[in-house]
């Protein structure tokens, strides 16, 4: 089975970022980049398919600047068999659809029975590329995947829905799956493989190799344009004054947490049965039971 | 000046089959406002099986017209049916703007339709507005919420955005308004559907992740023992609510860590949060303060949890909760549906922590 996992290098959003108003992008200097956390789960799911179906190959593929080699090496260290970087200066500024076009061209060349993606990139957070890639490759696709079971040329997939519902879908292969974070527990690299991955050659393909036109990719091929990036505007609240009866530490915590608005609710007191009855009334009146 | 499409401002409606989801009404209010400012019409698009009954409400909430695409194959969401149908319809009717809910369906469907149409999409927006030159200005969070960015789609049409539920308030329905209903031709064969729905699993609420739950019953130090926490579990079970705990309960091993709410646990914002024996130290409260309604049960009338409670019950939970359990049990017995019977049948007397070990 041929498995392709799409991965991305992202800005590490666990660290505070130098966001300044009016800029279109962050200043690259000093930013830490990591393998997109959601993609680690996608890769792990691919590696599990390889464990289950001997003779399978896992290819990690990424669209991004040369620095993305580091995350592809990380995939090799974790157990991917091949890595492929798709980059050309013409790709710079691609929106999700242009990115999907580039990845689609790469995947067509490599060939895939199963394409795996993470749910979203932690920096751009669009969650669009997977579904768009599936449309461009004309593959059946399931997003928000919580469980993936491949058997006899088809997949049984659990898709996460709101309010705790799950859809179980049957999907023929080849297909694309965008997996949820937490679908599995990603493995650690083996030292031997990790060391080997550091010296591995990561092949690169550009515009001409992929047979793409300059007006399909990059800024020229993108519809959505970021006008500016700014620090998020806080939701304004009334002036908050911490309760003076609290210890300084607790007051400080209240201030830091944005303050708790006091709710003026009714106090119910009395014998347990009366109280329980009043509570039940509140619950039924508000349709909670 | 380029010629803009005149198909108006569209909303793709999320619904359950019988009811329009709140997000769709919020989007309609937004679409109405944008349409008025642009001098265009607002339209709602409904896909489903026998969903004609939803049209009047959509009209009252701001739609001038409702596109209805009905068919048995559209009964459940299937991207293989929905995406080509919507892409065709949008291609034909040429709306200027299409708004979607950032819901399970919208997040899956909108990018697919954008790919088919070759247009831009901004997802998870918190706000949309018109820029000075009349473009849709879409504001969305990036970098894990550390920044927000404004996105436009200058050339391609339609301009599309998915909006987070709750981002814009819904308008009050105006009973005098009516929408023109336009039936959409649906020609679909079941062979074109590659995904097949096998079943829909509903996770029992007590096992539901606390971040997904609509109602949460939580226990704190005041439950006193594993048996005390089990009272909380029983109430949750009978209410169809999820169980949560504050840190002392988790540390004591009465509840698993995944149930912990607070600074070192999860952050929740359910419709109702019932805090039993939780004094309300800040570390817990920051994890639940955005709950829509809060009921607090505690012995100490000075407990800080009461400051943020809508219903404040001063009393011993070991007496109040058994009484409440009895009443809820009776309520279920009286109602007597199959669901009620199942809930009563599965009500256990053994605490969950002990069951697992």
DSSP string, B65-78: EEEEEE-GGGSS--
Q: What is the mean pLDDT of chain B?
A: 90
Which residue, chain included where needed, has tokens 């034909």? B92
Class of domain B205-356: alpha beta
> Which pLDDT band holds residue A99 (cuts at 50, 70, 90)?
very high
Higher pLDDT, A24 or B338: B338
Domain segments of chain B as ranges = 9-192, 205-356
What pTM value is reported for the model? 0.80
**pLDDT at residue B269, rounded to an integer:** 85
pLDDT band at B64 (very low <50, low <70, confident <90, very high): very high
Residues 169 through 188 of chain A touching chain B, CB cutoff 8 Å: 169-172, 175
B341 close contact with A: CB closer than 8 A: no
- The pLDDT tens digits of the residues spanning B36-45 come to 999 999 999 9
Q: How many CB atoms lie within 10 A of CB B317?
A: 26
d(CA B348, CA B204): 14
Residue boundaries of the structural domains of chain A: 2-216, 234-289
| Residue B249 phi, psi dihedral angles, 5° rounding | -65, -40
**Please, which pLDDT band fits residue B286 given cuts at 50, 70 and 90?**
confident
Please indicate if any CB of chain A lies within 8 Å of the CB of B130.
no
Is any Cβ of chain A less than 8 angstroms from the Cβ of B70?
no
Answer whether CATH 3.40.50.620 is correct for domain B9-192.
Answer: yes
Whole-number pLDDT of residue B189:
86
User: What is the band of B4 on the pLDDT scale with cuts at 50, 70, 90?
Assistant: confident
pLDDT tens per residue across span B255-271: 888 899 988 888 888 88
For the cut 90, the answer to whether the pLDDT of residue A266 exceeds it is no
What local confidence, expressed as pLDDT, does residue A259 receive? 57
The answer on pLDDT for A238 being more than 60 is no
Q: Are strands A141-151 and A154-160 parallel, antiparallel or unpaired?
A: antiparallel
Q: Which residues contact A113 (CB under 8 A, 6 or more apart)?
A: A1, A2, A3, A173, A174
Best of B311, B328, B333, B334 to substitute, by most chain A Cβ atoms within 10 angstroms, is B311
Which of B11-15, B255-259, B338-342 has the highest mean predicted lDDT (pLDDT)?
B11-15
**Residue that wins the pLDDT comparison between B299 and B349:** B299
Fold of A2-216: Rossmann fold (3.40.50)
Nearest CB among B111, B143, B214 relative to A163 is that of B214
Alpha-carbon distance B251 to B228, whole Å?
A: 15
**So what's the pLDDT on residue A251?**
77
Of A23-37, B218-232, B283-297, the poorest mean pLDDT is in A23-37
> What 3-state class would DSSP assign to B124?
strand
Confidence of residue B357 (pLDDT cuts 50, 70, 90): very low
Q: What is the pLDDT of residue A127?
A: 93
| ipTM value | 0.84
Residue A173 confidence (pLDDT) above 60: yes
Q: Matching CATH topology for B9-192 and B205-356?
A: yes
A41-69, pLDDT tens digit by residue? 999 999 999 999 999 999 999 999 999 99
Q: Could you tell me if B139 and B126 are in contact, meaning their C-beta atoms sit under 8 angstroms apart? A: yes
pLDDT category at A237 given cuts 50, 70, 90 is very low
Q: Is the pLDDT confidence value at A241 over 60?
A: yes
* Of the ranges A95-109, B132-146, B209-223, the best mean pLDDT one: A95-109
Give me the residues of A, 63-92, that contact B with CB < 8 A: none
pLDDT of residue B61 exceeding 90, the answer is yes
Choose among A96, A232, A288: nearest Cβ to B239: A288
Give the pLDDT confidence score for residue A258 in this predicted structure.
Answer: 58
pLDDT digits (tens, 9 = 90+) for B72-101: 999 999 999 999 999 999 999 999 999 999
> Any idea what DSSP says for residue A223?
S
Q: Is B244 helix (H, G, I), strand (E, B) or coil?
A: strand
């Amino acid at each position: 089975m041929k498995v392709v996992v799409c991965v991305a290098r992202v800005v590490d959003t666990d660290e505070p970022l130098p966001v300044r108003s009016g800029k279109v992008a962050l200043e690259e200097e000093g930013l830490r980049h990591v393998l997109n956390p959601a993609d680690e789960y996608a890769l792990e799911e691919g590696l599990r398919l390889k464990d289950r179906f001997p003779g399978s190959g896992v290819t990690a593929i990424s669209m991004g600047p040369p620095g993305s080699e580091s995350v592809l090496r990380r995939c090799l260290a974790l157990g991917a068999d091949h890595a492929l970087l798709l980059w050309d200066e013409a790709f710079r500024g691609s929106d999700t659809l242009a990115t999907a076009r580039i990845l689609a061209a790469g995947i067509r060349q490599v060939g895939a029975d199963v394409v795996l993606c993470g749910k979203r990139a932690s920096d751009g957070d669009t969650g669009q590329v997977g579904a768009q890639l599936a449309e461009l490759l004309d593959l059946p696709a399931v997003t928000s995947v919580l469980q993936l079971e491949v058997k006899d040329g088809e997949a049984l997939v659990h898709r996460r829905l709101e309010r705790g519902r799950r859809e179980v879908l049957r999907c023929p292969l080849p297909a694309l799956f965008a997996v949820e974070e937490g679908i599995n527990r990603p493995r650690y690299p083996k030292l031997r493989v990790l060391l080997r991955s550091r010296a591995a050659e990561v092949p690169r393909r550009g515009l001409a190799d992929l047979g793409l036109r300059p007006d399909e990719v990059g800024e020229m091929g993108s519809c959505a344009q970021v006008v500016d990036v700014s620090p998020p505007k806080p939701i304004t609240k009334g002036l908050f004054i911490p309760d003076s009866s609290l210890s300084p530490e607790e007051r400080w915590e209240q201030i830091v947490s944005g303050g708790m608005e006091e709710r003026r609710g009714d106090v119910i007191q009395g014998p347990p049965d009366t109280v329980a009855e009043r509570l039940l009334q509140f619950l039924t009146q508000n349709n909670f039971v | 000046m380029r010629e803009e499409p005149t198909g108006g401002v569209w909303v793709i409606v999320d619904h359950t089959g019988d009811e329009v989801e709140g997000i769709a009404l919020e989007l309609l209010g937004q679409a109405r406002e944008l349409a008025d400012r642009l001098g265009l019409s607002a339209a709602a698009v409904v896909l489903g099986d026998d969903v004609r009954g939803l049209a009047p409400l959509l009209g009252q909430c701001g739609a001038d017209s409702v596109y209805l695409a009905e068919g048995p194959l559209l009964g459940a969401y299937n991207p293989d049916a929905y995406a080509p149908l919507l892409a065709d319809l949008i291609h034909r009717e040429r709306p200027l703007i299409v708004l979607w809910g950032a819901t399970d369906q919208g997040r899956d469907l909108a990018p697919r339709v954008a790919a088919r149409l070759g247009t831009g999409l901004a997802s998870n927006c918190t706000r949309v507005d018109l820029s000075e030159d009349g473009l849709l200005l879409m504001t969305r969070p990036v970098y894990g919420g550390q920044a927000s960015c404004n996105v436009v789609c200058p050339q391609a049409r339609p301009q599309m955005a998915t909006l987070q539920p709750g981002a814009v308030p819904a308008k009050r329905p105006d009973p005098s308004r009516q929408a023109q209903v336009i039936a959409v031709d649906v020609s679909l064969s079941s062979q074109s559907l590659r995904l097949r729905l096998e079943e829909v699993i509903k996770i029992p609420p007590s096992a539901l992740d606390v971040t997904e739950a609509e109602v949460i019953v939580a226990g704190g130090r005041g439950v006193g023992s594993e048996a005390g926490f089990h009272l909380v579990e029983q109430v949750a079970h009978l209410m169809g609510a999820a169980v949560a705990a504050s840190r002392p309960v988790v540390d004591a091993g009465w509840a698993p860590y995944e149930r912990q709410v607070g600074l070192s646990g999860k952050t929740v914002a359910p419709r109702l949060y019932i805090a039993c024996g939780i004094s309300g130290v800040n570390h817990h409260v920051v994890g639940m303060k955005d709950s829509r309604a809060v009921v607090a049960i505690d012995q100490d009338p000075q407990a800080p949890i009461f400051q943020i409670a809508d219903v404040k019950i001063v009393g011993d939970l070991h007496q109040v909760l058994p009484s409440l359990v009895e009443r809820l049990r009776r309520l279920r017995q009286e109602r007597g549906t199959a669901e009620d019977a199942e809930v009563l049948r599965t009500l256990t007397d053994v605490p969950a922590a002990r069951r697992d070990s």
